[in-house]
Amino acid sequence: MAEAGYAFIDIAVLLVKIALVLGVNLLLLALMTLAERRVAGFMQDRYGPNRVGPEGLFQPIADGVKFLFKEDVIPSHVEKVLYILAPSLVLAPALLTFAVIPFGGTLSAFGREIQLQIANLNVGLLYIFALASLTVYGLVLGGWASNSKYPLLGGLRSSAQMISYEISMGLSVIGVLMIAGSLRLNDVVAQQNTLLFGVLPNWNVFLQPLGFLIFLIAAFAETNRLPFDLPEAEPELVGGYHTEYSSMKFAMFFMGEYVALITSSALITTLYFGGWDFPYVDESALGVWGVVLSVLAFSVKTGFFLFLYLWVRWTLPRFRFDQLMNLGWKVMLPLALLNVVLTGIVMYWVV
């Protein structure tokens, strides 16, 4: 792509990649809504929805149709513009984030080296954090525009929560950046594509266990998942920021939440579990099969973290708000700082 102007084929490849990532994301999102309820059922010794299609596989379609055809109520007391804008403000950044995540190795086709990644940004990680922070606007605006007490409380909670945890999240990633020496996610993955002491895969989870733990917990808080789902805490706030929403607008809040889930799973995989790296195998030597293997490895790892989200949701109870703030500021933040210092000391002696 160094020559002046893009060739037609480059643009075509890019469009295919975008369509692929978007399509897979939306499909996975639909499956997640089903998986959530099925896994919930299994963990409570029930079946969950299993009537629509084989094993309930078409349930998301039924749900989607239902959401689309439901009456879209806009209460008379809302701030109309912000009220309508808010759901898309939740969904759009979540979808955009996936652009910089590498989901496979480098494919050689059409005489080109095709990176399986939409945009190989040199500030990839910053881009992700910037967009992830935008999600909070959707929630706060949704809560504010609804002009009613429960959504407002939910929106306020979400802003307080996300801002608190974003700091620890950002600090926990610094350890990874120090090791990789780059914000480009490709470099982070490439650095993990080797072996540690010749035995373990050189994944950041082994180099940065504390950082990983902090990042994981912060990711749960960022995506508003249990045990940190205070913004929507059903028993206290009716539904939180989406109480006044109905029909597809309501569904978009949920789509945003699930896409954020997928993206953060992919991000955890990329940052701490070697991205598309299949351990002990040199993907670049296997040609096309290496690429297939890398995509597969990435999918399996991401899938595991998606399951982890469901798993934790049906295990842990919700935090109280003061506990949440205590954990965020008094535990996570100092630990994240400690992690940065420790990484710095070790790197000073080792490298």
Partner 1 sequence: MGVKKVGYEPTWIDKLYIPAILKGMAITFSHLFKKRYTVQYPEEKWIPPAGHRGAIRLNRDEKGRVKCVGCEMCSTACPAKCITVVPGVAPWDDREKYPVRFEIDMLRCILCGMCEEACPEDAIELTVIYDFAGYSREDLIWDKERLLKNFDITVDGKYFERSKEETGL
Residues of the shown chain interacting with partner 1 in the complex, contacts defined by CB under 8 A: 39, 42-47, 213, 311-312, 314-316
* Closest distance to partner 1 from the beta carbon of 216 (Å): 11
**Nearer to partner 1 by C-beta: 250 or 272?**
272
SS (H, E, C) 276-287: CCCCCCCHHHHC
DSSP structural state of residue 242: G
CA distance 226 to 161: 13
* Closest distance to partner 1 from the beta carbon of 311 (Å): 6
The answer to whether the CB of 258 falls within 8 A of the CB of 27 is no
For 247, how many CA atoms within 13 A lie in the half-sphere containing its CB?
A: 9
**Nearer to partner 1 by C-beta: 50 or 106?**
50
Three-class SS state of 321? helix
* Closest distance to partner 1 from the beta carbon of 345 (Å): 23
- Name the β-bridge partners of 112: 109
**Nearer to partner 1 by C-beta: 19 or 331?**
331
Joined tokens for residue 86: 């808010």
CA distance 313 to 134: 24
Joined tokens for residue 167: 């700091």
Question: In Å, how far from its chain's centre is CA 183?
Answer: 18
**Nearer to partner 1 by C-beta: 3 or 45?**
45
Sign of CA dihedral 220, 226, 227, 229: positive
* Closest distance to partner 1 from the beta carbon of 84 (Å): 39
**Nearer to partner 1 by C-beta: 31 or 248?**
31
Sign of CA dihedral 292, 12, 6, 110: positive
* Closest distance to partner 1 from the beta carbon of 195 (Å): 27
**Nearer to partner 1 by C-beta: 216 or 266?**
216
* Closest distance to partner 1 from the beta carbon of 39 (Å): 8
87: preceding bond cis by omega (within 30 degrees):
no
The answer to whether the CB of 142 falls within 8 A of the CB of 150 is no
**Nearer to partner 1 by C-beta: 14 or 43?**
43
Question: In Å, how far from its chain's centre is CA 230?
Answer: 18
Sign of CA dihedral 279, 281, 287, 292: negative
* Closest distance to partner 1 from the beta carbon of 174 (Å): 22
**Nearer to partner 1 by C-beta: 26 or 213?**
213
* Closest distance to partner 1 from the beta carbon of 42 (Å): 5
Three-class SS state of 201? strand
